[in-house]
Homo-oligomer: A and B are copies of this chain.
């Protein structure tokens, strides 16, 4: 069975060393020194915080976009991809009240979310985790995990700048950026 549920545990221990934590909007996450990615519910009880998310079906991409993404993207855990970022975001109630066609129009026709991401493939590997429907009290709606080689860190900053300048990002009401390196 494919693993779908993942946790990100921030604390004193973990494979990933925190380089920086930055709160963009909303309540910050408490600072930690390390982050461990865990599968299922196997988090250490010693963690300062645990963010959980589940991989799921795509909510917006068309067949053409999916084909382009699959052709260009690479998997996680490549040996050269020693840098990572964990970006938890929450979107506001106005976003969730929109019907599907209007959310799609904002994300793609106006904000070009997929096209922006495609420009950074295969250098930046990505896995999206959904949190909103895990339960009624999750602190974020999405956790996105990115991995890349150190020489792509500047390009990754540009990717984030481009996404944050979109119309879609007007609906983000909580966002923290955790930058990490392995070891």
Mark A residues whose CB is within 8 Å of B. Answer: 1, 3-5, 40, 54, 56-63, 65-66, 96-104, 130, 132-136
Main secondary structure of the interface of A (DSSP, over half): loop
How far apart are A57's CB and chain B's nearest CB, in angstroms? Answer: 5
How far apart are A89's CB and chain B's nearest CB, in angstroms? Answer: 15
14 contacts between A and B (CB under 8 A): A4-B136, A5-B136, A54-B133, A54-B136, A56-B132, A57-B98, A57-B103, A59-B59, A61-B99, A62-B101, A65-B99, A100-B104, A130-B133, A134-B134
A58, B99: Cβ atoms closer than 8 Å: yes
B5, A96: Cβ atoms closer than 8 Å: no
How many protomers of this protein does the assembly include?
A: 2
B101, A63: Cβ atoms closer than 8 Å: yes
B96, A1: Cβ atoms closer than 8 Å: no
CA separation between A3 and B66, bound complex, in Å?
34
B96, A57: Cβ atoms closer than 8 Å: yes
CA separation between A132 and B4, bound complex, in Å?
11
* Chain B residues within 8 Å of A54, by CB: 133, 135-136
